[in-house]
Amino acid sequence: MPEEASSSCISHTDLLALVGEYMDASDVEKVNQAYLLAFKAHDGVIRKSGEPYIYHPIAVAYTLADLHMDVDTVRAALLHDVIEDTEYSKKDISDMFGEVVADLVDGVTKLAGGEFTTRDEAAAASFQKMMAAMTHDYRVVLIKLADRLHNVQTLNVRSPSSTRRIAKETLAIHVPLARRMGMNTLRKDLQLTAFKQLYPWRSALLEKNMDKLLEEHANEHKEIIHNIKTALAAKNIEADVFSWEKNLYKLYKRISKGTSHKQLTKFTESLELRVLVNNSIDCYTALGIVHQLFHPKVGSFKDFIATPKGYGFQALQSALITPQRQLIFVQIQSHEMFQIAQYGITASKRFPELLKSSGKSQMYLNRWLEQVEEIQNITGTAAEFLEDMKADLFLSEIYVSTPRGEVKVLPKGSTPVDFAYAIHTEVGNKCISAIIDGQPARLNTRLGNGATVLIVTDQDAVPSPTWLNFAVTAKARSSIRSWIKTRKSHEFIELGEKILEKTLSAHKQSLSSVPKGNIQKTLTALNLENTDALFTNIANGNQSAKLVAKRLLDSDSLTSLDENSKDQLLLIKGTEGLAVNLQKCCYPIPTDSIVAYPDKHNGLEVHRDNCPTLARIGLSHKQDIFSIAWVDNTSKESHFLAALNLQVRNRVGVLSHITDLLEKMDINIEDINISGDKEMKDMYFLIQVRDGAHLRLVAESLNNQSHVINVVRVFDDKKH
């Protein structure tokens, strides 16, 4: 029999004793068999603490057994590092313990580090893999959280830099993940342990001061609790009333931001109380009683029973002030609500006799898992997925409703775009504006708690890449990125095909006239899967249209395709979408002479032919620059940006006169910048015009204004 753990560690015997409290004998033996394999697999391996490695999986399994998790979860916890760190494979685990255990172990197994160039890249990919596994079985994340808890508990043997990195990662990802699972007990343990490891001196000092404050006012606090119990009993409300440990990490964050007094006093630090009653009706009755007993602080009441948090948390919360000016934060729950809040999805396993509606936690979890799976399906890279999920996990929540009263729970700082995507992806894709509490609002407006929002949509509308600058939720950000990538891919294919057709047409050829065998030979030679890949490579500059044309045409035609052949003009409207980009360094508009060159990320970058930026680019990309022109039938409804610089005398009202004129001419101003001295000012205007003729009309009208000395169209080399 393997040796027992030292007195400082949880032993194999301790684990079997714990699972024996709620498992039958056959399941206990299954746990024991998993332990024996884990011991064998990790035999001889020593942790940085100097203890045998087996103590780690035992500790992880013990945490989950304390939650009364099932036999497969506990076995997987014991084996969670076997695939990653030993010679045993997933198939070996499956053959010995079944497919379910093998899938759980594989779900928490990190991806091989050799596949990635950086630690962050590997961590993001492993996180995405774990979350994908979680959508099929949530127990994967429970194992990972228990694993992380023991790791942060033993960080003291690591280097300071490693300790800081792991502690910060825990606070950034694992703590909010535990909270999103509704596992507040586990969340609190992770948060406090990581905080103490990250800031040992600060956390110790804060804890000492808080203990001192509580000790100084212990009698006063006992009297408050006694008065609440007495008042509730007088109204025949059965209740447990007790103080709750202060969240030191939240307190530290508040103080470190400078939004709170550094000195802890009863006037600044609330006494946190929990009131547990039998049902939701008693919760509201108890709230009325404590509000009669102590004066409620205005605006502090929150009803999370009527509108639960996104992970199912329910409670009534209120801040009170005693006649002695002691601040009290009281949270009122039923016993069932309290246990669900502490143990989330595992509450029904730990307290089966108490919870009658354990399906609530599962319902809230299923909703979130569906959202995670949807984000998985549309997110491009692992780094993007991790970024989106971080935004989704931080749950400073607001509650926003539709005009019909449907409530959406969103992170604080969300915008109408986030709200639109929370309703449906298509609503998000088609939104153009919003009406917030009856008032028109822009899509980047930050929503307030309790707002009523109507989303205005247009069937012709499409998402804008700029939305990523203010969208907050993972659903919104991943949906926007997915649309952009799909749209850009389609547009790159169209653009590349158009460029190649123009190149071939200069020699009286077309793609339809090229023999299919030549097309396949070209694809094979360039190692491309299909013509879509070929067109995309032409559009982004990875392949030269001229050289591709040479390959496509037979040997008799090659002689006519010398490098001096005159290009056919490629015609553009300038409003094609994401694959044609009018550059901000020169703001080309219809009727300008223009040239372009392909860019890997931006498609066709279009410049005025005298743009200074283009001259610089031409030194290294001369062979890629080709001539393009505007189509003759550019829509009169299309508007293009143009930059004008006005030299004016510095007189009262000169700016007002200029903007009034532009308004009368129905010219929209996108940007204004003013510089100069007391006598003369240079005014930079970025305006919307239809074409070159329209811009000249605007410039002439401005030049006729008094105090305007000169109007010139400018380049802005810095904007490239």
CA distances from 346 to 247, 427, 520, 552 (A): 22, 35, 58, 64
Rounded to 5 degrees, what are φ and ψ at 6? -70, 170
CB 409 within 8 A of CB 399: yes
* Element containing residue 317 per DSSP (H, E): strand 316-321
CA 525 – CA 518 distance, rounded (Å): 10
CA 11 – CA 3 distance, rounded (Å): 9
CA 707 – CA 650 distance, rounded (Å): 8
Work out the angle between the directed axes of helices 71-78 and 12-19 (0-180°, nearest 10). 170
Give me the sign of the Cα torsion angle 462, 465, 468, 474: positive
Q: How many CB atoms lie within 10 A of CB 656?
A: 9
CA 191 – CA 245 distance, rounded (Å): 13
Specify the pairing of strand 626-630 against strand 570-572.
parallel
Shortest CA distance to 446 belongs to which of 421, 419, 423, 468? 419
DSSP state of 109: S
CA 581 – CA 555 distance, rounded (Å): 36
Q: Assign 90 to helix, strand or coil.
A: helix
Q: Which residues are known to be catalytic?
A: 84-85
DSSP per-residue string spanning 203-249: HHHHHHHHHHHHHHTHHHHHHHHHHHHHHHHHTT---EEEE----HH
Q: Assign 504 to helix, strand or coil.
A: helix
Cα angle 140, 143, 146 (rounded to 5 degrees) comes to 150
CB 402 within 8 A of CB 396: no
Work out the angle between the directed axes of helices 359-378 and 382-393 (0-180°, nearest 10). 150
Q: Assign 330 to helix, strand or coil.
A: strand
Under 8 Å CB-to-CB from 495, ≥6 apart: which residues?
535, 539, 576, 579, 580, 603, 604
Under 8 Å CB-to-CB from 579, ≥6 apart: which residues?
488, 491, 492, 494, 495, 539, 603, 604
Specify the pairing of strand 640-649 against strand 708-713.
antiparallel
In this structure, the dihedral spanned by the alpha carbons of residues 19, 20, 26 and 31, taken in order and rounded to 10 degrees, is: 30
Give me the sign of the Cα torsion angle 356, 401, 372, 80: negative
Give me the sign of the Cα torsion angle 229, 235, 240, 246: negative
CB 315 within 8 A of CB 363: no
